[in-house]
Structure formats: C-alpha cells, structure tokens
Structure 1
Amino acid sequence: MSTQHEAEAGPERLASALIENGALTSDWLPAFQAVPRYLFVPDTIWPGRGGMNRQSDRVIRADDPELWWRAVYTDAPITTQWDDGAYTGPGKGQTPSSSNSMPTMVFSMLDALSVEPGNRVLEIGTGTGWNAALLSHRLGAENVVTVEVDEASARDARARLNAAGFDPLAVVGDGAKGYPEGAPYDRVIATCSIGSVPREWIEQTTPGGVIVAPWGPTYGGEAVVRLTVAGDGTASGPFVGSSAFMRLRAQRKDLPSTQAYLGGMEWPADGAKSMTTLSPDDVGDWIHMFAIGVQVPGLFCRVRWGADGAYRLWLHDTDVTSWATADYEKGRTRYEVMQSGRRNLWDELEAAWRWWDRQGQPGFERFGLTVSGQGHTIWLDSPRNRVPTFPR
C-alpha cells in the first residue's frame, strides 16, 4: 500500500460493496470492522475473480504490496494453497486446495447461520482462520470450534487467530466426522462443499439447530443449503444461493477416465447415433448442471474442445456402464448424439433439462434438501414436492 489513506479506503470500499449487495448485515458489520481480512491472508496468494473459479498469477506481498492489498480488499476469493501443499513453485499448481473465501459468500453464509448470543458453533474447514475469527468476535471464542484437515493450514490459521486476539478451539482432523468431544452444537457451518451431509454433523447438532453448507451433485452445480435439524434426527431446508467451494477432502470426486468406457475401442465405438435439438451449449450453466445432477444420479461430464469454439460433451456414469457424446458447433440447430451402454445418458440429461424448463426454469432458491435415514431427497418449493430422479 502506498498511503495510509489507501490502507483505510480498502476496507471501507469493501464494506460499502457488501452492504449494498446485501451480504453484510448490520449485525455482522462490527465483526467485519474488528476482524480485518488482511490479518488472515498469507503473504503468497493467487487472487481470484468474483463469481468465477479462476485464479490470477501468484502475488507475493513483499514484491508487490499494493497488488496484494488490492486483492485482499476485492470482493473475490483468494487461493492460498495448491495440491494440498505439494505445489511450491512459481505460477500455479494443478488443483486449488485452500482459500480465503469471497467476502460476499462469507457474510451471506454467516447471515444464513442465524447465530444468537450463547450459540456454540462448529466450523468445518478453518482455512486461513478469518471465518473462525468473525464467529469468535460475534459469539466469544469459547463458543467456537473449528476443524481443519490440513496440518500446515491449521497451524498457520491458529497463529493468525492468536495474533488477532482470538483463541477458539482449533482442531486438526477430518471435518466429515465433526468434533464429537465439543458437541452438541447449535450451529454448524462448512467452508467446503459436500455431496452428502455427514450423519455426524446432524447427530452433533441440537434439535432446532442449523447447518449451513455448500452442497452439489456429482454432475456439477452447487448451492448453499440451510438445514434445520429435527428431533427425529432428520434435517431439512432450502438452498439459499449459488456457491463454488473446494470439496471436503473426504468427499473429493475420483472419477474414471473416458477411456475406461470405450473398452479399448476408438470413438464412436459401439455407440448408437441420434440427433437432438437441445444444444449442449444450453445445458452447461451452474443452475443447469445442478438441476440435471439432482435428477440423474452418478452422471458426470467432460469436454473435449475442437476448432472455432466447437466441442464434444462427454457424459459418463460413475458405475462405468454407459457413455454418451453430444457435438456442438456454432450456428447449428441440430446436434449429433452418440450413446452406448445400459443407460441412455443423453436422453436422461435431456429429460432432466426439459423437466426443469417445464417448472419455469427455477433458480437455486426454489430447491431444498431433506436428509434422513433413507438418504438425501431434493425437492422443489416444498418437501412434499420431490424432484424426480432416474430411473423413472
């Protein structure tokens, strides 16, 4: 930072932006002011862009303090670790594995948590420690337990928390298991995404308590769900907005390669050809992927790019029984489809998309989730209106 004025203006501008977009409410404003983000951002970072899962080149604070400061007080996520810490060189690693989350997302999720004085909170994913510090300021550090699976991240976060004057219980462990020694909790918040709500989180939450977590199906798309835990051990509630978080390590996707489906043959192998009027380019938005994914269990996709914006969308099932492709080219109104295996994956995807279209193309906020002993149920508008799934 070049001047004291710029140092002060950064937080003020960010606060104004967060208040204007509705993320930062009056009850969280004192925590924002008392717990500055810069205290919880390491010296080496990869700034992100708001609303996008893309990182800029590495920024080292000592080399470019103004750019580092500008990144800290931009409403965007900041990647702080790649490849579980294995990557250490210049440039970028393969897969981002820890971050300081986008401030809009941080305060939107804290707002959804609906904390009350005296609440005990379990946080899954300490990350850099900022979220735990905000909760500690609001509720008292004695009421906050934060769990981090990465030992180095946990150590660094604990040091930042202590330097800022906070001492929540910071545990190194598998967040999927919660932290039963500190249970019960009134609130649970996850700063990593999941595809299945761990039973331990529900069991460690008091009846009437709230769980806030980013949730998404295998196919893609993701949104923050706000679950209320019932006395019978179930949990249910609506999705409250789109999200894009790194996956809980215990639930990371390990998906088969495309070649595993072709049996050593070259495409189109034994695929059956058909045509569709549904463009592959109309099924790839975040809400499309969510709406398709909750209806078509075990579906995932890959894209192979060609020339001039053309591409082939590959569909696979996690059981490695079926595959499909749909070819996109600009200017076309009909698209070639190939399908093979036990399931007609493109037909299932298209039926799921058309169901979503018939419902009025609902956004995330019209969907909800119920978790019970029978598993996970996605619903639309009401728990009584279950979203259909394949096979139908």
Structure 2
Amino acid sequence: MADSSSDTALRAMLDEVSTELGNLEPKFLQAARAARRHRFLPDRLWVGDGYEPCDRADSPEAWLRAAYADEPAVTQVNDGEDPGDGDRWPSSSASAPEIVFRMLQMLDAHPGHKVLEIGTGTGWNAGLLSCLAGAGNVTSVEVDATLAADAQARLRGEGFGVAVVAGDGAEGYAGSAPYDRLVSTCAVRTVPRPWLTQVRPGGVILTPWDAPWTCYGLLRLTVDDNGSASGPFSPYAAFMLMRSQRHDVRLFRDVVRDDHQPDESTSALSPWAVARDDYGAEFVIGLLLRDVWRAWHEDPGVDGVETRLWVATTDATSWAAVDFDGKSEDRFTVWQHGPRRLWDEVEAAYAWWLGHDRPGPGRFGLTVTATGETPWLDDPGRPVPAGG
C-alpha cells in the first residue's frame, strides 16, 4: 500500500473524528500516526450489510477505504468458522475510530499508567494505548487464541511493547495487576468481579455495557478503597458482547412450546413505547429488567394480529406476547406464560420511568460490589429499585 495513499486516508479519518469529537489533543494525533490502523488489519475484511469479503490483494483501494472509514472494520465472522453459503455475523472487529478515540479520552491513560485491555482484536487499540501509557505498560487479553497470536505479531512488528495473553477476558489478568486503567473493547451485561480486584483504588474501569433488551453505550467506573466501583453511563455505542456472556436462546426453539397455555389480558401500554419509539424508555427497561429480551414479529400469521412483540427471559422460563391488531392503538392483547408476568414487569418499569419525569440515559449510573450491582439515578445515594 503506497504511503501517500495511507497518509491521505489517515488524515481524512482524523479530520472526520475531530469533527465528531472536537479537535483531538496532540497526544492522540501522535498515537494515531504511530499506530496506523491499516497496519493492524488482516488482508481480508468483511464489508457491507452482507459482510462480503474484501481482500487487500484483489481490491487494494476498497480495502484501504474500509481500513480508514469511521466505522467498524469487521475482521472475523462466525467466530472464525467458514460460513460457506450460510448467514454471516461479525465476531471480531476493529471498532470505529470515533468511538476508539472517545474511549481513549474517557479512559484518560497517562505515561506510566499500567493498563489492562480486554479484547485485543487486531491489536490497533493496544498499540494506541502503548503510545499513551508507554512501552511495557499495556497488557491485553484476547479470548481467541488465533487472534491473540496475530495481534501479538503485528504489535511486535510495529515495535510496540504490549503483552498479549490468550484467555478469558472476564477473568482479567492477575499476573500484571494492579492496574491503573482497565478498558474493555467488548460489551458486558454484568461487570466481571475479577476486574474490581485487579484495578487499584482510584483506578478506572471503562467498558461497553449491554442489556438483552437494548444495546446502550459505555460505563465508566472508579474503583474505591473497599473494592467496589461506581460511575455513570455514557450513551450511544454498540459493541459485540463478551463471548462468555452470550445467551444462545431462540424463541421458537427454547422458549415457546405448543403445550403452553398462556394467560390472556389486555394492556393500554403500547409495545412501541418501550421497544422502538423512545430510547430513554428502552434503556430503563433494559437497566431494570436485566434478564429480559424482546423480539418483533411482523405479520406472525395469526388471525387478527398484524404485529407481535415477544418478551422472554434469558433462562427461557417465562414469556409474554403483545399483539397489535392493526386498528386499536390504545388497547393491546397480552399473552403471558411462566412463573413471571413479564409484561406486568415491563409496565411497572415504564411507570417508574414516567413517575420520575422520564430521566434520560445519561442520568443513570451503576455501583458494582463483590456481591451485586445496583443501578442509580443521578447519584449513588439514589438507588433504583430492581424491576422499577
């Protein structure tokens, strides 16, 4: 790849990121020039909505555009398995540059800080961290042994002193603890407790946060002297979920059975109000009902039903369905099965949100201890009751 082409692409990427975030500090610009994104990407990227392969050798210009676009560069599909003619889904990527630099700003790593990264991926972010914290101060954990080896080779080839460890990021890496900063490049639904013990008091944990109900954004925690951590949410970013926290639950395979006899009722709460129209409401449902997910079913093939919202627990023991008949927009038929009445729980969480004047996602935070997690509104002293 000609240096002039990559220089031009790098400048364009940094201009675009600066437009989104404001002018980047010189240390970030220097890091971006030292750890050039295209040098950390494999020769095959997966592009477009269908994740079609884009090979560097065959399409060098298209590959370079994808390498420096301000969007995720998908570097692996289907956990590295050959998808053949089947569906392709991303399992590893280099995050969009805008979110990478936003997270670096939030992490606030300084020279001499010891940093633990969860999710090495291509190694690009680890290279940037090494520029900011200093050679020998960054350890990165990657669950995929092949990706870990490839990233380590790239980092060494580019002259970055990063230790890459193949392992489960949920366990952190005690070998180099304690750390001043811990950053995850994959989303979690529960903050792994080993992270708390491996970050020194006053240190920062920055991780994407996710709920089965909705993707959200980032969680920035500060560790305190008693080993707990607390901090606010920052909205609007979606990341792949940590592999060990995935739930392989399918509606018609695992949840709904032919012999189920659900209870019928009606509700005035529109399913769109909690699952499509208002992101603030979606976030609160996800925060309060941490084990509940949902799926839309357009034209489900049921007489008198135009659209159905399915709601279910991640352990597949309870479910609800909310039907829109295509006519009435103030009364919906509800079906519920299992030990929990999930739509009743959704209604209660939504009522709590309305009763507190529809607080936006940025007003919430989370406190994490060795024994549990407590969401709060505005201040850790204002805990939000479980289930609203």
Pick one of 262, 266, 270 that aligns with 1:278.
270
Q: Provide the rounded CA distance (Å) in 1 between the counterparts of 2:10 and 2:378.
A: 38
Specify the alignment match of 2:34 in structure 1.
Answer: 34
Q: Provide the rounded CA distance (Å) in 1 between the counterparts of 2:72 and 2:23.
A: 16
Pick one of 349, 365, 381 that aligns with 1:384.
381
Q: Provide the rounded CA distance (Å) in 1 between the counterparts of 2:358 and 2:214.
A: 17
1:127–1:157 contact (8 Å) kept in structure 2: yes
Report the secondary structure of 1:388's partner residue.
coil
Specify the alignment match of 2:56 in structure 1.
Answer: 61
Pick one of 359, 362, 375 that aligns with 1:362.
359
Is 1:76 matched with 2:76? no
Shift of 1:255: 2.6
Counterpart residue type for residue 340 of structure 1: H
Q: Provide the rounded CA distance (Å) in 1 between the counterparts of 2:67 and 2:291.
A: 38
1:214–1:224 contact (8 Å) kept in structure 2: yes
Specify the alignment match of 2:333 in structure 1.
Answer: 336
Q: Provide the rounded CA distance (Å) in 1 between the counterparts of 2:350 and 2:193.
A: 31
Is 1:298 matched with 2:304? no
Counterpart residue type for residue 82 of structure 1: V
Q: Provide the rounded CA distance (Å) in 2 between the counterparts of 1:23 and 1:356.
A: 33
Is 1:25 matched with 2:21? no
Q: Once the two structures are aligned, what percentage of the paired residues are identical? A: 41
Instruction: Tell me the alpha carbon deviations over residues 323-370 of structure 1, each in whole angstroms, 9 at most, x when there is no partner.
Output: 211124666413322223332211211222233244343333211110
1:276–1:337 contact (8 Å) kept in structure 2: no
Relative to structure 1, the CA distance from residue 11 to residue 310 in structure 2 (aligned partners, 3 Å threshold; closer, same or farther) is: farther
Q: Provide the rounded CA distance (Å) in 1 between the counterparts of 2:281 and 2:53.
A: 32
1:136–1:168 contact (8 Å) kept in structure 2: yes
2:264–2:333 contact (8 Å) kept in structure 1: no
119-128 vs 101-110, which deviates more?
A: 101-110
Report the secondary structure of 2:366's partner residue.
strand
Report the secondary structure of 1:246's partner residue.
coil
Report the secondary structure of 1:200's partner residue.
helix
Q: Provide the rounded CA distance (Å) in 2 between the counterparts of 1:217 and 1:257.
A: 17
Specify the alignment match of 2:10 in structure 1.
Answer: 11
2:274–2:282 contact (8 Å) kept in structure 1: no
The CA RMSD measured in Å over matched residues stands at: 2.5
Shift of 1:307: 7.9
Specify the alignment match of 1:246 in structure 2.
Answer: 240
Q: Provide the rounded CA distance (Å) in 2 between the counterparts of 1:125 and 1:373.
A: 23
Q: Provide the rounded CA distance (Å) in 2 between the counterparts of 1:375 and 1:4.
A: 51
Shift of 1:19: 1.1
Specify the alignment match of 1:327 in structure 2.
Answer: 323
Relative to structure 1, the CA distance from residue 263 to residue 71 in structure 2 (aligned partners, 3 Å threshold; closer, same or farther) is: closer
Relative to structure 1, the CA distance from residue 112 to residue 5 in structure 2 (aligned partners, 3 Å threshold; closer, same or farther) is: same
Instruction: Tell me the alpha carbon deviations over residues 163-211 of structure 1, each in whole angstroms, 9 at most, x when there is no partner.
Output: 2111311111111111111111100000011111111111011110000
Specify the alignment match of 2:164 in structure 1.
Answer: 170
Specify the alignment match of 1:313 in structure 2.
Answer: 309
Counterpart residue type for residue 33 of structure 2: Q
Counterpart residue type for residue 388 of structure 1: P
Relative to structure 1, the CA distance from residue 61 to residue 358 in structure 2 (aligned partners, 3 Å threshold; closer, same or farther) is: farther
Shift of 1:306: 1.7
1:234–1:371 contact (8 Å) kept in structure 2: yes
Q: How does 1:98-137 map to 2 (within 5 A)?
A: 98-137=92-131
Relative to structure 1, the CA distance from residue 324 to residue 91 in structure 2 (aligned partners, 3 Å threshold; closer, same or farther) is: closer
2:274–2:350 contact (8 Å) kept in structure 1: no
Specify the alignment match of 1:196 in structure 2.
Answer: 190
Instruction: Tell me the alpha carbon deviations over residues 88-138 of structure 1, each in whole angstroms, 9 at most, x when there is no partner.
Output: 547852x32111111111111111111122100000110000000001112
Relative to structure 1, the CA distance from residue 170 to residue 103 in structure 2 (aligned partners, 3 Å threshold; closer, same or farther) is: same
Q: Provide the rounded CA distance (Å) in 1 between the counterparts of 2:72 and 2:168.
A: 23
Relative to structure 1, the CA distance from residue 100 to residue 347 in structure 2 (aligned partners, 3 Å threshold; closer, same or farther) is: same
Relative to structure 1, the CA distance from residue 296 to residue 135 in structure 2 (aligned partners, 3 Å threshold; closer, same or farther) is: same
Q: Provide the rounded CA distance (Å) in 1 between the counterparts of 2:184 and 2:269.
A: 40
TM-score (norm 2): 0.90
1:294–1:378 contact (8 Å) kept in structure 2: yes
Q: Provide the rounded CA distance (Å) in 2 between the counterparts of 1:80 and 1:286.
A: 29
Counterpart residue type for residue 371 of structure 1: V
Relative to structure 1, the CA distance from residue 36 to residue 286 in structure 2 (aligned partners, 3 Å threshold; closer, same or farther) is: farther
Report the secondary structure of 1:324's partner residue.
strand
- Unpaired runs of at least 5, structure 1: 49-53
